[in-house]
Amino acid sequence: MRVERTDPSHLRALNRSLLSPEVIPPRTRHVRSQVVYNLPTGLDGLARYDAALSRLCQRGAFGQEMDGFYWARTPEKRYGVAFSGGANLSDPQNKRKAGQVYFFDGQDSRCNVHVGDQAKLMPHYVGP
């Protein structure tokens, strides 16, 4: 009994030029820092230095999720900002208090944390 063979044209490789290549766009994450407070007179009268939170920040136990993601503009320097609601705040020991804004000067072993009342700072808020 004879074995039937397929047509030889079926054995050729596919013509890849006719098939459109599947292109998967790369996933890029665009992170843009944003000024949230404009403080023309600095932190004077708006925020106070907090030694306990500064020590925690120096140890890495209280700080910003992303350094400088939110920031405050003053004449002398730029401060990183985090909010008590959890926006940009890393607080594993749950030291935050409601209605507070945290200003960070540095995010290393020399970190200084200043705490301000959010309601008092609202006139200086700069929207997105």
First to last CA, the chain: 82
pLDDT (tens digit per residue) in 16-49: 666 566 676 777 766 678 899 999 999 999 999 9
**What is the number of structural domains in the chain?**
1
What pTM does this model have?
Answer: 0.74
In a domain, 1, yes or no: no
Between β-strands 34-38 and 70-73, what pairing exists: parallel, antiparallel or unpaired?
parallel
Range of the domain at 86: 34-124
Q: Which residues of the chain have pLDDT under 50?
A: none
Q: Say if 18 falls within a structural domain.
A: no
Q: Is residue 111 part of a domain?
A: yes
CB of 60 closer than 8 Å to CB of 111: no
Say what the pLDDT of residue 3 is: 65
pLDDT at 26: 75
Query: What would the two tokens of residue 84 be?
Result: 């008590």
Type of residue at 6? T
